[in-house]
Structure 1
Amino acid sequence: MPARTRPAANRPRPGAPDRLEPLNRRQIIGILIGITVFVAPFLVDVPDLDPLGERMLSIFLLAIVFWVSEAIPLVATAVLVIGLEVLLISDQAVLPVPADATAYSSFFAALANPVIVLFLGGFLIADGAEKFHLDKNLAAVLIKPFTGSARRTVLGLMIITAVLSMFMSNTATTATMFAVVIPVLGALPEGRPRTGLALSIPVAANVGGMGTPVGTPPNAIALGALAEAGHAVSFLDWMMMSIPLMLVILLGAWLLICAVFLPGGLAVKLDMRAEWYTDRRAVMFYVIAAVTILAWMTESLHGLSANVIGFMAIVAMLVTRVMTGKDLAGLSWDVLWLVAGGIALGDGVGATGLDVWILNLFNWTSMPALAVVVLMGALGLALSNVISNSAACNLLVPLAMGLATSVGGLEPVTIAVVLALACSLGMSLPISTPPNAIAYATGEIATGDMAKIGLIVGIAGTAVLVLLMPTLWSAMGML
């Protein structure tokens, strides 16, 4: 009997909007708590905080609850922050404000912050690499010297993943690498070896994203906060500060994965071939991407800001029709707006004096600078394990920048960079980062294995970061 078709009225129409999933219990609780903490400062007088600061406290508490609970999408919270700042604390506020209130355009300007433009250029180059199969071809070429031994192959995959993650989003890199390593998984025996290889990809992607300003959103958030405070950190400066740590953690993670999952002497055979595009558009993209990356790394020689270079890359790719408006529309705009929300949150916290008020709640000034760095690094790691790395960085960087002006001997660059890098090390759960979720979806990884490796790498990496790296940065003249 032929299958019955659904009535036309019940069929989804082409182009119809997606059905919204019902709110789960955590989201409902998050919304209720968010509304409560938002309203509270309006109803209860907060000691030593003026009305403008109380309104910003409402926005800040709401952002914390919504980002932690994901009561609404992260990007929705980011734009809600900007909207509430305009309506409550700007010169266009619906409630009375002082004559010198921050111009509303300052909060909107977060959406076009130079760091956003830098990230936009990085995203477009990353999408171009995927479009012209540059990522897969590079992986196929670079993995050849590492074939034969399973341990050596995993080392090669981790190095390639980390390098790609320095210039592509961690999510895109992980998805690309899993497409590349499916034959490798098939060549390994079932069980622990496959788990080790599958775990190596998200670990390397998360760690590799630390390496450049465009590698991951926390880097952009920290750079934006530093730029707002008048502390310029160049593309190369960031790489010089982060890559030594990245390499140490990457090596340590590989040794740990080998010890736990990959027995010595395990062999693997691979047959991976690169198929390069050689048409005009592909060659043009290769040239633009290479020149852009080279220009980013030689910023101190030619004097052009990395933000300007990123924008010029966008111009070059669109004018030469290497990339199109359709490619531009397909970028991860939600991530860019999330970063903008964090920048705007920091602006509001600073403009209303809320940062000073929060810092006065604790006797931070009695703590040595090292203790503050250790505490903030630990907070960044802990929080980014249970909420997104970007959201954790968004919440903590404004407070950290306030600390930098009140704690003797604490460099703003140190605390901001430490926080960004610590947030990237939160990777112990499938929900911690998109690369973890992609790897977990392969079915090769148990949550316990991911938690064990993620916690060891995260805690050890953060310890090296907070205890050793500031001294190294100072010795290198970076601070």
Structure 2
Amino acid sequence: MKTEDRSGAAASGTAASKTVDRQERFDLIRGRVGLALGPVGFALVLLTALGLPWEQRALAAVLVLVIVWWVTEAIPLAATALLGIVLCVFLGVADEDTVFGAFGNDTIFTFLGGFVIARSMTVHGLDRRLALRVLSVGGVVRSPARTVVAFGAMAMCISAFISNTATVAMLFPIGIGIVRAVSAISTDKGGQDLHGSRWSTALMLMIAYGASIGGLLTPIGAPHQLIGRDLVEEQTGKTINFVEWVLLFAPIVLVMFAALCVVLLRLNRPEVSELRGAEAYLAEQRAEFGSFSRGEANTCVGFAVAVVLWTAPGIGSLVLGEEHDFVVLMHEHLTEGVAAILAATVLFLLPLDRGDATGRRAPTLTWAEAVKIDWGVILLFGAGTVIGSLSSETGLADTLGTSLADHLGVSSLVSVTILAAVAGLVISETTSNTASAGIVVPIVVPIAMAVDVNPLIPGLVATAAAGYGFMLPVSTPGNAIVYGSGMVPMTKMIRSGFVFDLIGVTILVAGTLLMAQVVGI
């Protein structure tokens, strides 16, 4: 390796180390402040909200504590979630059967099945193989602009079925490898080191932002969407199935992606017109995979089963009608949770080989591999469901909705939807997407109901906006990952994120209001 290349890599590593240190200091201060503010807010509500019935007052106090600790991440989000539901029982908001029964929710099993399928993709390298294959098509990586767009398109499509964080974690090292390969050749020929270039910044941001907007394509694309959708359904009594979700948000996501490409390439215009060495790097990476493995093939089968079962009830409704006996049967018995578990089970049934001398056959996915999923998200979802349902049952949601609607002066579907989008966006900039959805949706839906407008639209917009957060490294894990590369200066992330926040919220609000009429929500 040339001296210039080593120094460039060292500089990049030093910058990444500094960004990590700043991030850790910020998180430490935020956590300490939140750790103190949470109990203070809890006590103040209990002592001062004397005009509310005890169940509403106690639940409001729990809600304040949970929100403060979720926003500041004073303790792990899942631990806060468990404390919140335990306090609901302890303070007499509801009995233990009502509270703990939320973990029997169908969406819990949708999480489990989806996480297991995504885990199998990672274990067998199917996701990475697909990414490398797409980048190798038609000389895509010879062009800086096409490379950025291609990474964004992959991030968008993959995150529709795998968590945004996992998508970024998978594409990030491929992007880093391409930047290093191109930079090495460029510096050898006396050209520019592209580690800290505008092009590398655009590439890193595209990976993170593309995954964030792509997760919106399907309800299983991001955990916060299943949480938000369930909270909306719990409070409104109306359901949004897989097909309806895709029909509603797919056009919005495509428009957002086109806008994202324009924003990132305009604000971070590539310095070079050609990327030399990128194709050779991809060829080396693809050669390491070899032929398509049995594990990859089996994972494709499991994934296909999931998609067919998830979409069957919705497609049946469109083709045969909602009242057809078979369609009614599917809606009652082939729920998304049932479909997810059936598809995940396929991975434990399909073997990788013919077996050893004893006849034992290794499954596509072992239980030891499967359990390495994010159980914390499941606990967080259960807590969000409990708090959302109890808000309705105790009357707290109605009280909050009426009060906030009067104070904020919102009275139309458009104004409530804009409020939902802005609230979801602002909170998601400083806390996790799952926590943002759990905070915003239970507040926005009652406001919509208080002013007598369709609560589904602002509820779904709040859920979608909770997955935004493009300005800061703390906004999403994907942002933090690419920021840690040392290729994304804070000023560029803030500038690019701010511009896309404004454009994205506009597209989200206008698009949802329009598509809701088309889909009939």
* TM-score, with length taken from structure 1: 0.88
Following the alignment from structure 2 to structure 1, what is the Cα–Cα distance between the partners of residues 378 and 520?
Answer: 28
Residue 314 of structure 1: which of 340, 344, 348 is its match? 344
Following the alignment from structure 2 to structure 1, what is the Cα–Cα distance between the partners of residues 486 and 413?
Answer: 44
The structure richer in helix per residue is 2
How many residues matched?
444
Q: Which runs of 5+ in 1 are unaligned?
A: 1-20, 91-101
Higher alpha-carbon deviation: 433-442 or 308-317: 308-317
8 Å Cα contact 1:151/1:264 also seen in 2 = no
Match of 1:373 in 2: 417
Report the 3-state secondary structure (helix = DSSP H, G, I; strand = E; otherwise coil) of the residue aligned with 2:279: coil
Higher alpha-carbon deviation: 174-183 or 162-171: 174-183
Higher alpha-carbon deviation: 381-390 or 264-273: 264-273
Aligned 1:443-454 pairs, distance under 5 A: 443-454=486-497
Deviations 1:202-237 (A, max 9, x none): 010111111111111221112211332421111111
* Residue 345 (structure 1) aligned with residue 387 (structure 2): yes
Match of 2:301 in 1: 287
Q: How big is the shift at 1:50?
A: 0.5
Match of 2:106 in 1: 114
8 Å Cα contact 1:107/1:347 also seen in 2 = no
Judged with a 3 Å threshold, the aligned counterparts in structure 2 of structure 1 residues 386 and 279 are, in CA distance, closer, same or farther, namely closer
Residue 301 of structure 1: which of 302, 306, 315 is its match? 315
Deviations 1:8-60 (A, max 9, x none): xxxxxxxxxxxxx9x9443333222211121223333522x101111111101
Judged with a 3 Å threshold, the aligned counterparts in structure 2 of structure 1 residues 111 and 105 are, in CA distance, closer, same or farther, namely same
Following the alignment from structure 1 to structure 2, what is the Cα–Cα distance between the partners of residues 316 and 377?
Answer: 39
Following the alignment from structure 1 to structure 2, what is the Cα–Cα distance between the partners of residues 441 and 471?
Answer: 38
Q: How big is the shift at 1:260?
A: 2.2
Report the 3-state secondary structure (helix = DSSP H, G, I; strand = E; otherwise coil) of the residue aligned with 2:120: helix
Match of 2:163 in 1: 169
Aligned-partner residue type, residue 338 of structure 2? V
8 Å Cα contact 1:382/1:426 also seen in 2 = yes
Q: How big is the shift at 1:446?
A: 0.4
Report the 3-state secondary structure (helix = DSSP H, G, I; strand = E; otherwise coil) of the residue aligned with 1:405: helix
Aligned 1:44-443 pairs, distance under 5 A: 44-47=48-51, 49-90=52-93, 102-145=94-137, 146-186=140-180, 187=182, 189-190=193-194, 191-228=197-234, 229-263=236-270, 266-268=273-275, 269-271=278-280, 272-273=282-283, 274=286, 275=289, 278-301=292-315, 303=330, 304-320=334-350, 321-364=363-406, 367-408=411-452, 410-443=453-486
Match of 1:18 in 2: none
Report the 3-state secondary structure (helix = DSSP H, G, I; strand = E; otherwise coil) of the residue aligned with 1:231: coil
Q: How big is the shift at 1:63?
A: 1.0
Percent identity, aligned pairs only?
A: 27
8 Å Cα contact 1:374/1:467 also seen in 2 = no
Following the alignment from structure 2 to structure 1, what is the Cα–Cα distance between the partners of residues 242 and 166?
Answer: 21
Q: How big is the shift at 1:265?
A: 6.4
Match of 2:11 in 1: none
Q: How big is the shift at 1:103?
A: 4.0
Report the 3-state secondary structure (helix = DSSP H, G, I; strand = E; otherwise coil) of the residue aligned with 1:451: helix
8 Å Cα contact 1:133/1:276 also seen in 2 = no
For the aligned residue pairs, the C-alpha RMSD in angstroms reads 2.1
Q: How big is the shift at 1:350?
A: 1.4
Judged with a 3 Å threshold, the aligned counterparts in structure 2 of structure 1 residues 367 and 26 are, in CA distance, closer, same or farther, namely same
Following the alignment from structure 2 to structure 1, what is the Cα–Cα distance between the partners of residues 367 and 131?
Answer: 28
* Residue 41 (structure 1) aligned with residue 71 (structure 2): no
Report the 3-state secondary structure (helix = DSSP H, G, I; strand = E; otherwise coil) of the residue aligned with 1:387: coil
Report the 3-state secondary structure (helix = DSSP H, G, I; strand = E; otherwise coil) of the residue aligned with 1:147: helix
Deviations 1:365-389 (A, max 9, x none): 8611211111121111111111112
8 Å Cα contact 1:137/1:276 also seen in 2 = no
Q: How big is the shift at 1:301?
A: 3.4
Q: How big is the shift at 1:295?
A: 2.9
Q: How big is the shift at 1:110?
A: 2.3
Q: How big is the shift at 1:104?
A: 2.0
Aligned-partner residue type, residue 294 of structure 1? V
8 Å Cα contact 2:428/2:475 also seen in 1 = yes
- Structure 1's consecutive aligned runs of 4 or more residues displaced over 6 angstroms after TM superposition are none
Following the alignment from structure 1 to structure 2, what is the Cα–Cα distance between the partners of residues 181 and 259?
Answer: 20
Following the alignment from structure 2 to structure 1, what is the Cα–Cα distance between the partners of residues 339 and 202?
Answer: 39
Match of 2:190 in 1: none
Deviations 1:172-218 (A, max 9, x none): 11011012222321215422111111111101011111111111122
Following the alignment from structure 1 to structure 2, what is the Cα–Cα distance between the partners of residues 183 and 32?
Answer: 43
8 Å Cα contact 1:425/1:457 also seen in 2 = no
Match of 2:4 in 1: none
Aligned-partner residue type, residue 84 of structure 2? V
Q: Answer 1 or 2: higher relative contact order, Cα 8 Å, separation at least 6.
A: 2
Following the alignment from structure 1 to structure 2, what is the Cα–Cα distance between the partners of residues 457 and 184?
Answer: 25
Match of 2:21 in 1: none
8 Å Cα contact 1:183/1:270 also seen in 2 = no
Judged with a 3 Å threshold, the aligned counterparts in structure 2 of structure 1 residues 279 and 68 are, in CA distance, closer, same or farther, namely closer
Q: How big is the shift at 1:429?
A: 0.3
Q: How big is the shift at 1:89?
A: 2.9
Following the alignment from structure 2 to structure 1, what is the Cα–Cα distance between the partners of residues 113 and 37?
Answer: 38
8 Å Cα contact 2:102/2:382 also seen in 1 = yes
8 Å Cα contact 1:56/1:89 also seen in 2 = no
Q: How big is the shift at 1:305?
A: 2.4
Q: How big is the shift at 1:421?
A: 1.1
Judged with a 3 Å threshold, the aligned counterparts in structure 2 of structure 1 residues 178 and 406 are, in CA distance, closer, same or farther, namely same
Following the alignment from structure 1 to structure 2, what is the Cα–Cα distance between the partners of residues 74 and 386?
Answer: 14
Judged with a 3 Å threshold, the aligned counterparts in structure 2 of structure 1 residues 252 and 301 are, in CA distance, closer, same or farther, namely closer
Q: How big is the shift at 1:294?
A: 3.2
Q: Which runs of 5+ in 2 are unaligned?
A: 1-24, 184-192, 317-329, 351-362
Following the alignment from structure 1 to structure 2, what is the Cα–Cα distance between the partners of residues 28 and 281?
Answer: 45
